[in-house]
Amino acid sequence: MDTVYIEREVQSHPRTERICQRYPNARHILIERHTDVFNARSQDFRQQKSNPALILAHKAGKRIHATPPGYHVGGQHNYYFSHMLNCVYDCRYCFLQGMYQSANHVVYVNSEDFMQDITSTAARHDTDSWFFSGYDCDSLALDPITRFVDDCLEHFEQLPHAWLELRTKSTQIRPLLARAPLPNVVVAYSLSPQAIVAAEEHGTPSLAKRLDALQRLQAHGWKVGLRFDPLLYAENFEELYGELFDTVFAALDIAAVHSVSLGVFRLPKGFHKKLLRLYPKARLLAAPIEPREGMMTYPEETERRMRHFCQSRLDTAIRPDQFFPCS
Amino acid sequence: MRRGVSPHESGHRPAGRPALAGQSVRVAIQYTSAMSLVCIITALPAESRVFIDALKLRHVPLRGLRLYASEHYLLLQSGIGKLNAASATAALLQTRPDVTAVINAGIGGGKAELGSVHLAHQIQDAASGRQWYPHLPPQRTVGHMPSCSIHTLDKPDSAYTDGVLFDMEAAGIFSAASTYLSTEAVHAVKVISDNPEQGLDAITPELATQLMQASLPAVRQLSDWHRAAGRHGNDDSAIEQYHQDIIAVVRHSVSDAHQLRRLLQQHQTLTGKTPEPQQLLPLATARKIRLHLQNAVQAAPLRYEL
Ligand code: SF4
């Protein structure tokens, strides 16, 4: 990180100080509100992506949100939170590109407020509630800087009726391997065939590295989840995904996997339009994509075939109670 | 520009470039959409001279603007003050859409060493409070130049404070340029011309020109960074040209033209090339061309392979 913007309000926060110490040679720029920089008009997302700045900020207002319908792994009460905005990786299909003007990374340093809100949200329910991290970012990729995972794990250790999903493509699992596994935490990896990782998931760890991280987490006793989402169309779809499932089934203790979910590529119309502007030559956008129920996605028949193929392969290895199709 | 340089010297001409009445030199430049054209904006001749000489710029007439040009640079001399800077910048960017970046270079006052060069990380219009945050280049690309906040004043002031530079144009330039360019493409580089030790009265045009020498490497580095970043962008000039060639011959509505561009992009992505013009042009209508391209795109396999 070459430039760190610091909101005046969090200037003396211990996490701000710790993060700034990590970057003694960066430009440290004091700002009043992170939105002045992050939401400024006329930013070039694509150019910023090649040298993003770090913005340390205070998250005020609503910190915990209900997940959209269909975003769950069996729980009744589902929430997500974003302790960060944006991602170090550069997946061509990522909806974050359509969501924000800026590719800078915002880190909200007041994780204690997030934890307090998680506690009070969980307390509203008699049954278990789920909290999904990694909705507006990758949960682990910047953890060496944020150390958010440690804060989270310490907190969820005290909240047995609240579940945490850390969704990631990252191999930054040191904080997880450094402690005893928690029964109410799932580390969920997004997985794609290596040819798709190479073509569309720029900067992310290879499939082999993600599987290695999953193996180590399983061996350490952590619950893991597998997220085959988004499935991308290709003429050689069955060959690509067939091989992916074979590799995953061979590498992991599938019976012990907490949950498996499946989702086909879909984007809100506006985001799709923005993506076309940003990456007109992206392969995934050259696929037949059409508007359906307010989203841009593959034709119904294509989606049906993709889902059917994957589901039939998954059926050979997982139990029905492990499976959650994303709508 | 910094308060203290006499407006009279705005008629100053760089040595070696005598003005002949009514004469101007037109520089013929062929632009393509892939080319990066950086415009340096100064307030006064004392700030312009170093760039005109070093970058071999020549005066070009343009709607009453004081403009100099070479193949890769323009220099706009706006005159003193925020309003002059804003109106000249807007007039330029409106008439020259080929300008891809703007760098405001000039002198400014601050609590820093005389002659030191600073890159703006924030520009604030002191009168309105409006502010801009340029997206800064990596430090290694600009020689680890210190960054600062620039407060653009309407009147001279010498209440120097840490980390803040005073000038009289930057906010005007940012206000106008941000309508046309993104935050990565508008920057300000200032050289300290006065500070608590040496006040405003000591500034002369000669001193300003001398001090501005120090900003030349920074302006060049910023321009190089901008050009390098532009090269990583979408160079769609081949498709754009192809698209233009077709709609010049076959009538397309706005929506037809939009669909045509997208189909050409898909064709290029899937097949690695644009279609043969001799196959498209004889089709004679937008609809037939679209159908032909749709079939070609559908027939081209989308495969992922290692
Ligand atoms: S890892 Fe996730 S959040 Fe990051 S770019 Fe890829 S899809 Fe987006």
A228-286 pLDDT per residue, tens: 999 999 999 999 999 999 999 999 999 999 999 999 999 999 999 999 988 998 999 99
The response to whether residue A169 sits with its C-beta less than 6 Å from ligand 1 reads: yes
CB A247 within 8 A of CB A207: yes
Instruction: Name beta bridge partners: A295.
Output: A268, A292
> Cβ of A31 under 8 Å from any chain B Cβ?
yes
- Confidence tier at B156 by pLDDT (50, 70, 90): confident
Question: What was the pLDDT predicted at B105?
Answer: 98
The pLDDT assigned to A134 comes to 80
Distance from CA of A130 to the nearest CA of B (A): 35
C-alpha separations of A72 from A190, A265, B154, B212 in Å = 15, 17, 57, 61
Chain A residues with CB under 8 Å of B262 CB are: 276, 280
Residue A42 and residue B301: Cβ atoms within 8 Å?
no
Task: Convert the pLDDT of each residue in A7-19 to its tens digit.
Answer: 999 999 999 999 9
Q: Is B295 on the interface with A (CB under 8 A)?
A: no
On whether the CB atoms of residues A33 and B168 are closer than 8 A, the answer is no
Q: In degrees, to the nearest 5, what angle opens at C-alpha A243 toward C-alphas A240 and A247?
A: 135
B135/A286 touch (CB, cutoff 8 Å), yes or no: no
Judge: A235–B301 Cβ closer than 8 Å, yes or no.
yes
At residue B10, does pLDDT exceed 50? no
The verdict on a CB contact (< 8 Å) between B229 and A47 is: yes
Q: Do residues B82 and B172 lie in contact, with contact meaning Cβ atoms separated by under 8 Å? A: yes
- CATH number listed for the domain at residues B7-232: 3.40.50.1580
Residue B106: HSE in the Cβ half-sphere, 13 Å Cα cutoff = 35
At B4 the pLDDT is 44
Q: What mean pLDDT do residues B83-87 have?
A: 97
Q: How many CB pairs under 8 A join A and B?
A: 100
Q: Are A117 and A107 in contact (CB under 8 A)?
A: no
Atom of ligand 1 nearest to the CA of A87: 4
B56: left (phi over 0), alpha (psi -120 to 50) or beta: left
Task: Give the start-to-end residue ranges of the domains of chain A.
Answer: 3-325
- For the CA of A134, the nearest atom of ligand 1: 3
Query: Does residue A24 sit at the B interface (CB-CB below 8 Å)?
Result: no
When the pLDDT of each residue in chain A is averaged and rounded to a whole number, the result is: 95
Which strand (E) or helix (H) includes residue A279?
Answer: none
pLDDT at A224 over 50: yes
Q: Residue A209, class by beta-carbon neighbours within 10 Å (0-12 exposed, 13-18 middle, 19+ buried)? A: middle
Closest residue on chain A to B147 (Cα): A27
Percentage of residues of chain A with pLDDT beyond 90: 89
pLDDT at A325: 83
**Residue linked to tokens 């769609």:** B236
Q: Is the per-residue pLDDT at B25 higher than 70?
A: no
- Yes or no: say if B234 and A282 are a contact pair by the CB < 8 Å rule: no
- pLDDT for the residue B306: 85
Task: Give the number of the atom of ligand 1 that is nearest the alpha carbon of residue A93.
Answer: 7
CATH topology of domain A3-325: pyruvate-formate lyase- activating enzyme (3.80.30)
**A115, A175, A141: which is closest to A54 by C-alpha?**
A141
Tell me if B100 sits within 8 A of B181, measured CB to CB: yes
A103 lines ligand 1 (CB under 6 A): no
A2 to chain B: which residues are within 8 Å by CB?
A: 136, 138-139
What percent of chain A is modeled with pLDDT above 70?
Answer: 100
Tell me whether A47 touches chain B (CB under 8 Å). yes
Give the residue from B227, B258, B304, B306 with the most A CB atoms within 10 Å of its CB, the best one to mutate: B304
Q: What is the pLDDT of residues B162-199, one digit of tens each?
A: 989 999 999 999 999 999 999 999 999 999 999 999 99
- Nearest CB to B304 within list A47, A195, A288: A195
Residues near B178 by beta carbon (within 8 Å), at least 6 away in sequence:
A41, A42, B132, B186
pLDDT digits (tens, 9 = 90+) for B129-147: 999 999 999 999 998 899 9
* pLDDT beyond 70 at B35: no
Contact B122, B199 (CB under 8 A): no
Distance CA B148, CA B168 (A): 15
CA A180 – CA A154 distance, rounded (Å): 11
CB-based contact B136 A27, cutoff 8 Å: yes
Question: In this model, does residue B32 exceed pLDDT 70?
Answer: no
Q: Does B296 touch chain A (CB under 8 A)?
A: no
- Residue B119 and residue B148 in contact, taking contact as beta carbons nearer than 8 Å: yes
Mean pLDDT for A41-67 is 94
Query: Which ipTM value was assigned to this complex?
Result: 0.91
Which residue would you say has higher pLDDT here, B6 or A256? A256
Q: Are strands A185-190 and A162-168 parallel, antiparallel or unpaired?
A: parallel
Looking at the predicted structure, is the pLDDT value of residue B30 above 60? no
State whether residue A130 is helix, strand or coil: strand
CA geometry: angle at A68 spanning A66 and A70, to 5°? 120
Q: Which residue of A has its CA nearest to B298?
A: A288
Q: Assign B234 a pLDDT band (cuts: 50, 70, 90).
A: low
Bridge partners, B108 (sequence order): B192
Residue A186 tokens, joined: 């799932």
| End-to-end Cα distance, chain A | 37
Would you list the domain boundaries of chain B?
7-232, 237-299
For residue A7, the tally of other CB atoms under 10 A from its CB is 23
Whole-angstrom CA distances from B24 to A26, B19, B20, B59, B66 are: 46, 8, 8, 6, 11
Q: Is A94 in the pocket of ligand 1 (CB under 6 A)?
A: yes
pLDDT (tens digit, 9 = 90+) per residue, A134-185?
888 999 999 999 999 999 999 999 999 999 999 999 999 999 999 999 999 9
**Lowest mean pLDDT segment, chosen from A111-115, B240-244, B288-292:** B240-244
Q: Please check whether residue B249 is in contact with residue B281, taking contact to mean a CB–CB distance below 8 angstroms.
A: yes
Alpha helices per DSSP H over B181-215:
205-212
The pLDDT assigned to B22 comes to 31
Instruction: Give the H/E segment covering residue A105.
Output: strand A105-108
Contact B302 A287 (CB under 8 A): yes
pTM for the full predicted model: 0.90
Nearest chain B Cα to A31, which residue? B122
Task: Kindly state whether B198 is in contact with chain A, defined as any CB-CB distance less than 8 angstroms.
Answer: no
Rounded CA-CA distance B101/A92 in Å is: 27
Inform me whether the pLDDT recorded for B3 exceeds 50: no
| 8 Å CB contact between B115 and B214 | yes
Whether residue B254 lies within 8 A of chain A, CB to CB, comes out as no
pLDDT for residue B13: 29
Q: CB distance from A42 to chain B under 8 Å? A: yes
Q: CA–CA separation, A16 vs A7, rounded Å?
A: 9
pLDDT band at B31 (very low <50, low <70, confident <90, very high): very low
Whether cis (ω within 30° of 0) applies to the bond prior to A230 is yes
A142 CB less than 6 Å from ligand 1? no
**To which residue do tokens 């920057």 refer?**
B187
Check whether B5 has a pLDDT greater than 80: no
